């Protein structure tokens, strides 16, 4: 709309108001409201292609033990850091100290993660010192149980070394010890006197969602293990993403992926922040790190490359958030922040550089010679108030714009209240609050300056415990009102994402979250299902609409026109939240100008619940999900009933066109 010339604007406003006045003549009683929609594309406004996306943070075991399909937890025995003895949790020992000694040492083949596991097996296959039946060794329960499914194949990779010959039994078992898959590692002393990499396919003969990987022996000797990985072969495109979780994301049709945090990027201390260079290259060589904000170890298998790949697989633009030399508790002063700036520049080169560039060649060697489509970076997360943020930011900004002028840079400072005191393409905006507050904030961007950097609402959610529970209908409904407000203000709001996206039910560090999972199942909270109402908004046209109501504090609506790429048909989608506790009658009047509405093919989708605090769960994943039904009375003018506390979307199928004959009272009908 910014490009629309003034005289045209005046004319359009006049036309729209006169259309509005005609409709008031329909007669609005005190109980009913009227929504006037101007369906002409010309008076609408394009919604940014990027409006709705997702924000992935390594929080709640979103990646490690979640989206990333690795089944072994702490596969390199590195979770205790570089010191020995190290923390081998959750590996557990089979056999007591009379038959087995388990320790760690720094004998690994891999320079950046030196810790390996050492087993001193004291018992033997026979004789007075015979090992217990079943042998001695270690097992890994994965992330609260491995999901092993009958008929599927799992690829075991491990590194082994020994002072003598080995005879090791590899088992996948359920929690009662029942065998699901088995293999033997038999090697002579000379074959394993140096580290040897083994790759073993394991086909499951049974199913357990709580399985474990067991490595045992009955032969006396000393054995070392390192980098033990178990991956299902069946991941999305073989890229390592757990398929059911990936699909939940794909169904949102996200246009961008912000990653990898959040506070995860900052770290409580800089030494524990996510550093991209430690997360690329062969997985065995990645050191991993302890995320000290969300308090768990990640081996960084889901690293910078994998995030870029995930974005590409989802058809979403990557938005890389990097550390700017600021953590929760320590900061680098601007005069020495240059190495951090260089690290960010190298990261951009890794994503976008030609395959013969220094960092682009590493990307190419990992399997992606083509550049990734990195167009957005965020300098830090929630660091605006910090002492060195502005000084550091300016250095990053200057260097990135110098080398990559097209890259859009996101500032941590809120530009919605007052203009930023530094250059930026977008500013980050986070909101966690109560249901009533977020609903009322559907007007939050109505009056922000229309010029200057746009808003990236990269984190929003109702998180007040009384309203949100563990992901309630009430929270979702209020968020829907907020999102409608953002959609209506999409001339100044460019990007929007909910936070946090994921939680593994076994380690909830933040509540609530959009997608809840365990080793084998998952469900969306109502907040997830609200996002499904907005999947067609990015890149659609926002139609001019006016809501005439006495209930403006509880009713909010928007209208878009969009094309369904699956059937190539055009629709108008009207979304309305009735946040109040009364049924509302709404007269919808679409000034179709050129298009008629077809009842057949139009439909209505409602998100509603009898209990405001209703939640979905593993046992009832579909308790609060959208319900779709045909909209039999679909027409340009229709009376609809909005149940109390509901979100409704009306998808009106545009049919054959009407062409207005200038100067005539009537319309003549034609096909497009």
Q: Which residues bind ligand AHR (CB under 6 A)?
A: 57, 59, 261-263, 381-382, 430, 459, 499-500, 510
Report whether 455 contacts 493 (CB < 8 A).
yes
CA pair distance 398, 462, nearest whole angstrom: 36
How many CB atoms neighbour CB 580 within 10 A?
A: 15
Specify the residue, 57 or 226, whose C-beta has the smaller distance to ligand AHR. Answer: 57
Specify the residue, 382 or 494, whose C-beta has the smaller distance to ligand AHR. Answer: 382
Residue nearest to ligand AHR (CB): 262
Query: Pick the catalytic residue: 58, 266, 349, 382?
Result: 382
Specify the residue, 228 or 499, whose C-beta has the smaller distance to ligand AHR. Answer: 499
- Token pair 């394991």 is found at 202
How many CB atoms neighbour CB 69 within 10 A?
A: 24
Compute the least distance from the CB of residue 346 to ligand AHR, in Å.
24
Specify the residue, 392 or 554, whose C-beta has the smaller distance to ligand AHR. Answer: 392
Specify the residue, 118 or 386, whose C-beta has the smaller distance to ligand AHR. Answer: 386
Compute the least distance from the CB of residue 621 to ligand AHR, in Å.
23
CA pair distance 461, 485, nearest whole angstrom: 14
Compute the least distance from the CB of residue 59 to ligand AHR, in Å.
6
Specify the residue, 185 or 499, whose C-beta has the smaller distance to ligand AHR. Answer: 499
Compute the least distance from the CB of residue 258 to ligand AHR, in Å.
10
CA pair distance 42, 12, nearest whole angstrom: 9
- Give yes or no: 382 in active site: yes
Q: Which of 2, 15, 26 is nearest to 593 (CA)?
A: 15
Distance of alpha carbon 483 from the chain centroid: 17
Q: How far is CA 632 from CA 165, 197, 300, 567, 635, in A?
A: 76, 64, 52, 20, 9
Compute the least distance from the CB of residue 446 to ligand AHR, in Å.
25
CA pair distance 173, 276, nearest whole angstrom: 36
DSSP state of 407: -
Compute the least distance from the CB of residue 496 to ligand AHR, in Å.
14
CA pair distance 659, 128, nearest whole angstrom: 98
| Percent of residues in the chain assigned helix, strand, coil, to nearest 5 | 20, 35, 45
Q: Which of 338, 336, 477, 472 is nearest to 396 (CA)?
A: 338
How many CB atoms neighbour CB 650 within 10 A?
A: 26
- Bridge partners of 378, per DSSP, are 321, 410
- Token pair 């596969």 is found at 75
Compute the least distance from the CB of residue 511 to ligand AHR, in Å.
10
Give the three-state DSSP class for 73: coil
Q: Are strands 555-564 and 569-578 parallel, antiparallel or unpaired?
A: antiparallel
Specify the residue, 384 or 399, whose C-beta has the smaller distance to ligand AHR. Answer: 384
Enzyme catalytic residues: 382
């Amino acid at each position: 709309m910014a490009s629309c010339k003034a005289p045209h604007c005046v004319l359009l406003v006049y036309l729209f108001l006169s259309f509005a006045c005609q409709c008031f003549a329909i007669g609005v009683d005190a109980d009913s409201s009227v929504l006037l929609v101007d369906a002409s594309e010309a008076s609408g406004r394009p919604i940014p292609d990027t409006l709705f996306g997702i924000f992935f943070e390594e929080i709640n075991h979103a990646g490690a033990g979640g989206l990333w399909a690795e089944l072994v937890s702490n596969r390199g025995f590195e979770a205790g850091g570089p010191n020995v003895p190290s923390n081998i949790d959750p590996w557990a020992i089979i056999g007591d100290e009379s038959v087995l000694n388990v320790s760690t040492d720094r004998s690994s083949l891999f320079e950046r993660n030196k810790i390996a596991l050492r087993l001193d097996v004291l018992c033997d296959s026979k004789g007075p010192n015979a090992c217990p039946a079943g042998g001695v060794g270690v097992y890994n329960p994965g992330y609260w149980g491995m999901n092993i499914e009958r008929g599927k194949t799992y690829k075991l990779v491990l590194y082994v070394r020994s002072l003598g010959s080995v005879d090791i039994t590899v088992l996948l078992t359920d929690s009662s010890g029942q065998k699901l898959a088995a293999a033997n590692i038999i090697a002579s002393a000379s074959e394993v006197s140096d580290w040897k990499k083994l790759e073993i396919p394991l086909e499951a003969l049974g199913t357990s969602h709580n399985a474990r990987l067991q490595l045992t022996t009955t032969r006396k000797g000393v054995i070392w293990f390192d980098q033990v990985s178990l991956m299902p072969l069946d991941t999305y495109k073989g890229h390592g993403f757990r398929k059911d979780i990936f699909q939940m994301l794909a169904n949102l049709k996200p246009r961008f992926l912000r990653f990898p945090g959040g506070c995860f990027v900052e770290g409580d201390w800089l030494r524990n922040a996510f550093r991209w260079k430690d997360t690329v290259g062969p997985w065995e060589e990645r050191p991993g790190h302890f995320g000290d904000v969300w308090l768990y170890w990640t081996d960084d298998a889901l690293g910078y490359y994998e995030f870029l790949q995930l974005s590409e697989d989802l058809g979403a633009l990557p938005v890389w958030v990097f550390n700017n030399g600021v953590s929760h508790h320590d900061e680098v002063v601007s005069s020495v922040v240059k190495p951090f700036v260089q690290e960010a520049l190298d990261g951009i080169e890794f994503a976008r550089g030609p395959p013969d560039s220094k960092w682009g060649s590493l990307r190419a060697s990992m399997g992606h010679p083509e550049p990734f489509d990195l167009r957005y970076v965020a300098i830090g997360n929630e660091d605006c108030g910090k002492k060195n943020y502005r000084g550091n930011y300016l250095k990053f900004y200057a260097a990135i714009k110098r080398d990559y002028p097209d890259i859009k840079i996101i500032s941590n400072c809120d530009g919605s209240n007052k203009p930023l005191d530094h250059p930026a393409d977008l500013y980050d905006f986070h909101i966690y609050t109560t249901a009533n507050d977020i609903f009322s904030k559907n007007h939050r961007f109505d009056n922000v300056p229309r010029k200057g950097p746009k808003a990236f609402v990269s984190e929003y959610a109702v998180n007040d415990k009384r309203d949100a529970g563990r992901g309630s209908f009430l929270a979702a409904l209020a968020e829907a009102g907020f999102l409608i407000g953002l959609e209506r203000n999409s001339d100044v709001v460019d990007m929007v994402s909910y936070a946090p996206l994921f939680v593994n039910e076994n380690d909830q560090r933040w509540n609530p979250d959009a997608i809840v999972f365990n080793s084998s199942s998952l469900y969306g909270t109502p907040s997830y299902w609200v996002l499904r109402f907005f999947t067609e908004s990015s890149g659609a046209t926002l139609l001019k609409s006016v809501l005439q109501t006495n209930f403006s504090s509880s009713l909010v609506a928007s209208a878009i026109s969009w094309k369904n790429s699956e059937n190539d048909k055009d629709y108008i989608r009207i979304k309305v939240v009735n946040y109040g506790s009364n049924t509302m009658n709404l007269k919808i009047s679409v000034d179709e100008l050129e298009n008629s509405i077809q009842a057949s093919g139009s439909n209505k989708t409602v998100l509603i619940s009898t209990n405001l605090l209703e939640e979905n769960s593993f046992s009832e994943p579909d308790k609060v999900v959208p319900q779709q039904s045909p909209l039999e009375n679909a027409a340009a003018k229709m009376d609809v009933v909005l149940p109390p506390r509901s979100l409704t979307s009306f998808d009106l199928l545009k049919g054959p066109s009407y062409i207005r004959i200038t100067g005539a009272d009537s319309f003549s009908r034609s096909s497009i």
